[in-house]
Amino acid sequence: MSVLAVSSLAKRYHRGGKPFAAVDDVSFDIGPAETLALAGPSGSGKSTIARLVLRLIEPDTGRIDFEGADFLALSCAALRSCRARIQMVFQDPLAAFNPHATVGRVLDDPLRIHNIASRAERPRRIAALLERVGLDAGLAARAIHEISGGQRQRVAIARAIATHPSLIVLDEAVSALDVSVRGQILELLLDLQRQERIAYLFISHDLGVIRAVAHRIVILDSGRIAESGDARAVIANPQSAIGKALVAATPKLIRNRP
Amino acid sequence: MSRLCHFFRTPEAIAGASILALLVVVALAAPLLFSGDSQAIAGPALLPPFQDWSLPLGTDRLGRDVLAELFHGARTSLAVGLAAAAAALLIGSIIGTLAGFAGGLVDEVLMRITDAFQTVPSFLLALAFVSIVGPSLGVVVAAIALGAWTGPARVARAEVLSIRERDYVAGARVLGMHPLEIAFREVLPNVLPSVLALSSVIVAAAILTEAALSFLGLGDPNRVTWGGMIAEGRTVLRTAPFLSVVPGIALVLTVLGVYLAGEGVVESAAARRSLS
Amino acid sequence: MTALLSIRDLGVVYRRDGSEVPALKSVSLDVLAGERLAIIGESGSGKSTLALAVAGLLPTGALVDGTIEWSAGQLQKPRSVTPLSVLPYTAGRPEGGVKDRQPLHFRLIGGRDIGFVFQDPSSSLDPVMPIGKQIAEVARTHLHLTWREAFTRAKILLERVRLPDPDSALHAYPHQLSGGQKQRVAIAAAIAAEPMLLIADEATSALDTIVQAEIVALIRRLVAEDGMTLIFISHDIALAAALADRIAVLRHGELIELGETRQIVNAPRHAYTRALLDAHLGLDAEPLLDRQGASA
């Protein structure tokens, strides 16, 4: 059974008086411990889909089933408690946290809100979370703006896994990172997926990154699905015009390896 | 520490802070220096300043010590100014945050109430309020705050509208945080700096409003106020102008000090922002 | 090829809240006339500082050490008659202490011999001025044209950067354009005064892959057509390798390696360069998914 099933999702906005479809008749599903990538140029509706799936915005039409239940039917309190199971990591790890927060507070929030640990137990859980994402437990006392970008993204991942979700939406989660840090974060994500069987909705404009971590890919163009399928097969042999353009535009490093 | 260094870099800030510091010292020292009743008769009536060194600023129509009155008046001015401004900022930030964050009908209702308050001149509002409820320190504070909270509310709402679109607010929603907690724990603290930038204007306006109310005889009758002193002196303006001039100068200096210090705070904040 | 400009022992220190943050440490390199030089590095490597130092755009208060020397003899276009000064800011022996250093004074930019393209085109375009006027203003000021000539030139420039419908684009405002179109306009403004050197500082990082490829192709074409020298600042080694003749690798403010693109990509001398190359996730790389699966 799929973790997330999205069918006929649509969202329109008005731009300069004219309605335009940000997301138009999009359907896909994600299985447990699976990574589905959403790719496409900017304005293709990737981020809107992320926000729709998390119900940060409400779709005009369509259906979202999360863990077998109608996700759009959930009302305020039920939705808030369900949020423990579906989490998100943002592109800019600095913007994703309250500028006044400390690492400890950021990780304390999910544990407190979803009653995962008692107040006395929380510091130990926070330390364990930090260690789980490869950070020093002593980092908890530091302010968010004091740590490096890579560390921040690890904290964001720690916050996302604190509530044991079955799905994490990664919205360009590695795009702002240095390449050396990016590799480590991707490996951490894959490791977490294997250990905890988390499914990822992996949004990226970078086909190289998608090919490295995703099982399946959905390529979007102007809010519609242009093509979808096995990530490596689609990237090796794209059928749609936008798929071909994306592959052609990806910088290629031609090395004569010894 | 570096915050203080930045603050004291501009001459305005130094001047403003010195005036305010002097005022605070005066207000705190008043009961120690003039321990008795400041409204008691201390000497002959209408003694001009600098005649008798035990009464350096002379006496008023009833023979009360003007210096003692001035010191005690500083207490009232500062207390009312700060309390009214604090109340206005608090009410304004809460209303503005709620309106901006909730949006929709709540926003509509709260902002129309704000409009209603803004259309009535704030001094008239204070005047009416004090006339109905009766003059006492608390009522004067409430009356002034009633007319001053709309500015902070508008600023807070505008700021919230931009902050609520930021990723970290979306992040808090994704975590399942309660909307009220998001509004008051995540959003409000980040709104405060812009609202607090208004504080100098509001404090200064509150001090002036208090003085005007007292001038019209609507201040707390059991307290000496600068506005009341000016009103008292008005009847003998030709023969003893110093009775109006001395509290007038005190008022001008205080308001000037508040403005300059406020300017210094804003500039030091801007300087720090441009550095980072 | 001969050097257009020689950077010798360039050091830059930023002052922040009383403490000093070194951004560049004794960097020496020559930019050859007519070459495409890529400067790559991760965040905090000092690559943008180097670009700003060459353009004379460092913030006031930055402490600068060393020399940036322009070889006046190498000017293909003796249009700017003002002697392209040898910039004299030596000083600062290391033991001399920071206080002896002079801030960088750079008058060269007045001659408009450098075009600069920033990462965020919105920040370099005036939001309330039509883009045609913005480009024309650059041309008018630096090439001493009349407004009419400058507007004609602006239109040609918009055609050259392949902006759709240049006639109406002249009167458009920045907010009416997409990110890629704004960057094209910023490039048009940067080359409006016929600079010898074009500096693109992460000019494509904020754009999506497809638009990035278009902008890179545009820069390559413009540089070739006008015989400009290009300094291309990027964090992406694959992008740099596709465009540049030579690549300089910076790390923590130091120049780690400098060489022909072919040599840097195929036979890097420095372990850090190799690590950067290995971290690149190309469409031919072995997916991490498999690597992990195999090791698990």
Q: What is the pLDDT of residues A190-231, one digit of tens each?
A: 999 999 999 999 999 999 999 999 999 999 999 999 999 999
Q: Which two tokens stand for residue B68?
A: 């003692």
Mean of pLDDT values over B62-67:
83
Q: Model confidence at C110, in pLDDT bands (50, 70, 90)?
A: very low
- The pLDDT of residue B133 is 92
pTM for the model stands at 0.83
Contact B276 C18 (CB under 8 A): no
Instruction: Quickly list DSSP for A83-105.
Output: GGGEEEE-S-TTTTS-TT-BHHH
Kindly indicate whether the domain formed by A4-249 is annotated with CATH number 1.10.150.530: no
Average pLDDT of chain C, as a whole number: 82
- The alpha-carbon gap from A246 to the nearest alpha carbon of chain B, in Å, equals 27
Neighbours of chain A (3+ CB pairs under 8 A): B, C
Q: To the nearest whole angstrom, how far is the Cα of C232 from the nearest Cα of chain A?
A: 15
pLDDT band at C90 (very low <50, low <70, confident <90, very high): very low
Closest chain B residue to the Cα of C59, Cα to Cα: B275
* Residue C31, strand partner residues: C5
A residues 124-153 near B, CB within 8 Å? none
Instruction: Write the DSSP assignment of C209-262 as a string of letters.
Output: HHHHHHHHHHHHHHHHHHT-EEEEEES-HHHHHHH-SEEEEEETTEEEEEEEHH
CB contact under 8 A, A56 and B176: no
Nearest neighbour of B174 by CB, restricted to A83, A95, A99: A83
Q: What percent of chain A has pLDDT over 90?
A: 84
Query: How many whole angstroms from its chain centre is CA B23?
Result: 13
Q: Which residues of C touch A (CB under 8 A)?
A: 42-43, 178-179, 207-214, 235-239, 241-242, 265-266, 275-277, 279-285, 287-289, 292, 296
Is a pLDDT exceeding 90 seen at residue C295? no
B24 within a domain of the structure (yes/no):
no
Residue C58 has pLDDT above 90, yes or no: no
Q: What letter would DSSP give residue C60?
A: T
Residues, chain B: 276
Is A58 in the B-facing interface, judged by CB distances under 8 Å? Answer: no
The residue among A198, A45, A49, A254 whose CA lies nearest residue A215 is A198
Sign of CA dihedral A215, A161, C44, C205: positive
The rounded radius of gyration (Å) of the Cα atoms in chain B is 22
ipTM score of complex: 0.90
Put simply, whether A16 touches C (Cβ < 8 Å) is no
pLDDT for position C85: 34
In Å, what is the CA distance from C292 to each residue of A185, A199, A211, B9, C286? Answer: 13, 16, 14, 57, 11
Query: Between A and B, how many CB-CB pairs are < 8 A?
Result: 57
CA distance C176 to chain A (A): 11
Among the ranges given (A32-41, A103-112, B39-48, C241-250), the one the predictor scored with the smallest mean pLDDT: B39-48
> Which token pair is C3?
């050097």
Question: Do A10 and A26 contact (CB within 8 A), yes or no?
Answer: yes
Q: What is the dihedral of CA A134, A138, A142, A148, to 10 degrees?
A: -30
Q: Is residue B268 part of a domain?
A: no
Q: Which of B257, C211, C202, B230 is nearest to A242 (CA)?
A: C211
A27, containing H or E segment: strand A18-30
Mean pLDDT for B240-251 is 90
Q: What is the pLDDT of residue C112?
A: 53
Is A41 in contact with C209 (Cβ distance < 8 A)?
yes
- Does B219 reside within a domain? yes
Structural domain contains residue B3: no
Rounded to an integer, the average pLDDT of C271-278 is 93
pLDDT in tens, B160-171: 999 988 999 999
C106 pLDDT above the threshold of 50: no
- What percent of chain C lies above the pLDDT cut of 90? 52
User: What pLDDT sits at residue B65?
Assistant: 85
CATH for C3-105+236-295 (3.40.1350.10, 3.30.1380.20, 3.40.50.300, 3.30.70.1400) = 3.40.50.300
- Domain count for chain B, please give it: 1
pLDDT above 70 (res A24): yes
B107-to-A178, B95, B112, B155, C68 alpha-carbon distances in Å: 42, 9, 8, 14, 58
CB pairs under 8 A between B and C: 5
* Beta strands at A167-171 and A199-203: parallel, antiparallel or unpaired: parallel
* pLDDT at residue C31, as a whole number: 94
Give yes or no for B275 touching C (CB within 8 A): yes
Chain C nearest C-alpha distance from A163 (Å): 25
Tokens of A233: 């097969």
Q: What gap in Å lies between CA C201 and CA C40, rounded to an integer? A: 10
Take residue A59 and report the two structure tokens written for it. 């779709």
The pLDDT of residue C80 is 35
d(CA A89, CA A40): 19
Weakest-pLDDT range from B52-56, B133-137, B212-216, C106-110: C106-110
One-letter amino acid for residue B230 of the chain: I
Q: In whole angstroms, how far apart are CA B10 and each of B196, B202, B264, B269?
A: 20, 22, 7, 12
Residue B51 phi, psi (nearest 5): -100, -50
pLDDT score, position C292? 56
Please determine, for residue C79, whether its predicted confidence score (pLDDT) is greater than 60: no
What is the pLDDT confidence band of residue C72, given thresholds at 50, 70 and 90?
Answer: low
What pLDDT sits at residue B264? Answer: 84
Facing A208 at nearest CB: one of C210, C282, C296: C282
In this structure, what DSSP letter does residue C119 have?
S
Q: Quick one: tokens of B86?
A: 């604090």
Per-residue pLDDT, averaged over C49-58, amounts to: 89
For chain C, how far is it from start to end, CA to CA, in angstroms? 52
Q: Provide Rg for chain C, Cα atoms.
A: 20
Query: Exposure of C227 by Cβ count < 10 A (0-12 exposed, 13-18 middle, 19+ buried)?
Result: exposed
Instruction: Give the gap in angstroms from C-alpha B164 to the nearest C-alpha of chain A.
Output: 11
Nearest to C287 among A179, A232, A248 (CB): A232
- Report the chain C residue with the minimal C-alpha distance to residue B1: C17
Residue bearing the bigger pLDDT, C161 or A254: C161
Instruction: Name A14's bridge partners.
Output: A19
Mutate: best of C205, C208, C273, C286, partner A, most A CBs <10 A: C208
Q: Are B158 and B244 in contact (CB under 8 A)?
A: no
**Chain A nearest CA to B106, separation (Å):** 17
Contact C229, C196 (CB under 8 A): yes
Q: pLDDT category, A57, cuts 50, 70, 90?
A: very high
B43: DSSP letter: S
Residues in Cβ contact with B222 at an 8 Å cutoff, skipping those fewer than 6 apart: none
The reply to whether A187 touches chain C by the CB within 8 Å rule is: yes
CB contact under 8 A, B178 and A83: no
List the domain range (segments joined by +) for residue B148.
39-260
Q: Which residue of B has its CA nearest to A98?
A: B168
Contact C265 A253 (CB under 8 A): yes
Q: Can you tell me the distance from the alpha carbon of B54 to that of B56, in angstroms, rounded to the nearest whole number?
A: 6
A212 with C207: Cβ contact below 8 A: no
Here the CATH number for the domain that contains residue B49 is 1.10.3720.10
Sign of the CA dihedral with A122 first, then A128, A133, and A139 last = positive
Query: In chain C, what are the domain boundaries?
Result: 3-105+236-295
Question: Could you tell me if A26 lies within 8 Å of chain C, comparing CB atoms?
Answer: no
Per-residue pLDDT, B252: 93
Question: Of A81-90, A104-113, B34-43, C55-64, where does mean pLDDT reach its minimum?
Answer: B34-43
Per the CB < 8 A criterion, the answer to whether B146 and B205 are in contact is no
As a whole number, mean pLDDT of residues B254-273 equals: 82
Q: What is the pLDDT at residue C1?
A: 66
Q: Domain for residue B60, yes or no?
A: yes
Return the ∠ at Cα C120 (arms to C116 and C125), rounded to 5°: 70
pLDDT number for residue B150:
94
Name residue, tokens 């407190």: A112
